[in-house]
Structure 1
Amino acid sequence: MTASVTSGTYDLDTRILEELRIDGRIGRNELAAKLGVSRPTVSKRLNVLLTAGPVHVVGIVHPSTIGLEALAHVSISVDQPVRQVAARVAALSDIPYVSLTSGRYPLIAEIRTPGPQQLAAALDRIRSIDGVRDTNTLFYSDLIIDIGKPEQASVATIDALDMRLLTVLQEDGRASYAALATAAGTSPGTARIRVLRLIDEGIVRISALSKPGQADTEYAVGFGVRTSGRISGLTPLIAELPGLRFLAATIGRFDAVGTIHTTALEDVVATLDTLRALRPVLEVDSWVHLVRVKERYSNTPALPLTREEVS
């Protein structure tokens, strides 16, 4: 009886998480209707997941929308225990993502900064961390698919009020309109209209991310690709791979780097075989993300605004 109840709760939690990854602001009534269970049951499990569960719901914005134009993927070799080094790297404010990985490099980090000078400074900070032995950097020439798949928006399409709302949503994707209004200095009605527009236009994607250090319900496998010919001709083909959640054209030892998410490693084998079979591909390397130490995309630098703020 207990095992059956536990299994049923786990299955329901998994289904709730799947819906939150699609729409992190989904209402409790709609969630109950989609899952075919009562609202009180859904509400109880949702509260548990959001307060003590393995995920947090956040707003994800394309980095260029918030003024982050210089991005890089950094593979790091270490000469000290990797968890200790990873914690030091994760403490840097311009590092949104840190992961312990299998393969040649035991540690991978991502840098997102406003420009190349800040990116170079961030790399210097990583290299000077005690325990970092060597780094290998891939500079993003084009961020094709970001986590959550937000749309790139020009600064002309958002104003200061939008930016304040985005800042709150990046910390708490399910913040109430009242809380959003208070933080942004506007009315709940205006906050609602603005947030719905930002979501409808894809400027922000509200999604559930697994908390760092928590056991994931799926595997994340990174890959790097070398190709012949133009990378622009290959990336649309890579973008069609099942489970692909991140893809960037890069400058460095690979011409593109990506991440596949799946619930079964067997699926990754088939996906990598498909990737290797693409005509322009010369080489594919891959690694498994074993433990995510940090995943936080909420650093929002101030932006120059080009149109008047309206309420």
Structure 2
Amino acid sequence: MDDFDEDLIRALQLDGRAQFSALAADLGVHRTLVAQRVHELLASGEIRILAAVHPRAVGLPIQANLQLRISGPTSPVFERLSEFTNVVFLSEISGQNQAVAEVWAADREDVARAVRAIQAIEGVVETQFSLYDRVLRRLRLGEDPEAGDLAFDDFDIALIAELQLDGRLTFGELAKRTGRSASACRARVLRLLESGVMRIGAVRSRRSATTSVLSGVGIVLRGDAEGAAAAEELLLGIPTIEFAARTLGRYALIATIAARSLADYTDIVRRIRAHRGVRLVETWVHAFVWLERYEWSLDRLARSRGV
């Protein structure tokens, strides 16, 4: 992977339906090169372009980060965790702990049940829990939608179901699959995107060998509000940070860095450590991503209508 690929994938993560001509203009290359490389990345499985629905829109407003210490063989634990329907991200990591799992839940009782079930898995000997208080950046999902934008109808659900399989389907293709007109499909897709309920972007195959380094940081702050706000601003000013959240638990902030190299990762962590509002930074590298789930079943979407 070279810098052009990284820039192209980053642009597609932000807008998976961007026109090749617009991408070419932004990247300063010819449209033909962009079209060829996007097709190659899709064909190789390096990326998929899919619709993601915001967790609040599917009735899952509570999100938590779990770090697990595992004793003995790790694969059976990860295989068991992969079966949990409310685990949306699961990664094998370096360091003192061996796993990171992100859990989405309907309420605090729901997340408590999930945590207890995970703690009961044979081989899990310790669980470190952080509840997301406020998500500051979520590359694949964007800002929280307004409460009034969270209701779906059957047409919305049909469109989302198709776009979860292929986010670059044309409006004509969507019309054939949903039985509606292309103009109706266009208007409804744009409404879903503008509301923040749905976002369409590239999802990387984290298992492919690339030069990028996916890592996590847990940040303990010094305590003053001004320093905390400045630390959040620092994180949001780093383009390769894909996710950042204010949390309750061991850390005040958790972030995910998609660095372009080990040197880039080291530089970013040094900048965070040097910030006046930061007391402590703990880091881990995502060595193998077992699961990254953004799609939801029709049943789950249908039950979310009117939330």
Task: Please give the range of the TM-score, normalised by the shorter of the 2 chains.
Answer: 0.7 to 0.9
Residue 229 (structure 1) aligned with residue 224 (structure 2) = yes
| 1:183 CA drift (Å) | 5.4
Residue 162 (structure 1) aligned with residue 163 (structure 2) = no
Alignment of 1:65-144 (within 5 A): 65-144=57-136
Alignment of 1:246-261 (within 5 A): 246-261=243-258
Distance 2:11 2:276 in 1: 36
Do the aligned partners of 1:217 and 1:263 also contact (CA within 8 Å) in 2?
A: yes
Do the aligned partners of 1:260 and 1:268 also contact (CA within 8 Å) in 2?
A: yes
- List alignment gaps of at least 5 residues for structure 2: none
Question: 1:147 aligns to what?
Answer: 139
When structure 1 is superposed on structure 2, of 241-250 and 283-292 the one drifting more is 241-250
Query: Which secondary structure does the structure 1 equivalent of 2:167 belong to?
Result: coil
Residue 298 (structure 1) aligned with residue 298 (structure 2) = no
Distance 1:275 1:42, change over 3 A: closer
Query: Which secondary structure does the structure 2 equivalent of 1:104 belong to?
Result: coil
Question: 2:184 aligns to what?
Answer: 190
Letter in 2 for 1:21: Q
Query: Which secondary structure does the structure 2 equivalent of 1:96 belong to?
Result: strand
Alignment of 1:34-53 (within 5 A): 36-37=29-30, 39=32, 43=35, 45-53=37-45
What whole-Å deviation, never above 9, does each CA across 1:199-248 have from its counterpart, x for those lacking one?
34544332211124222441112001111134862423332234211111
Distance 2:170 2:121 in 1: 40
What whole-Å deviation, never above 9, does each CA across 1:152-192 have from its counterpart, x for those lacking one?
11342243233443343334322333453455563332111
Residue 278 (structure 1) aligned with residue 275 (structure 2) = yes
Letter in 2 for 1:192: R
Percent of aligned pairs with the same amino acid: 28
Query: Which secondary structure does the structure 2 equivalent of 1:60 belong to?
Result: strand
Q: TM-score, normalised by structure 2?
A: 0.84
Distance 1:184 1:279, change over 3 A: farther
What whole-Å deviation, never above 9, does each CA across 1:109-165 have from its counterpart, x for those lacking one?
100112112111111221222322221111111112113251211342243233443
Distance 1:104 1:197, change over 3 A: same
Distance 1:190 1:136, change over 3 A: same
Question: 1:4 aligns to what?
Answer: none
Distance 1:14 1:152, change over 3 A: closer
Distance 1:232 1:66, change over 3 A: farther
Residue 62 (structure 1) aligned with residue 54 (structure 2) = yes
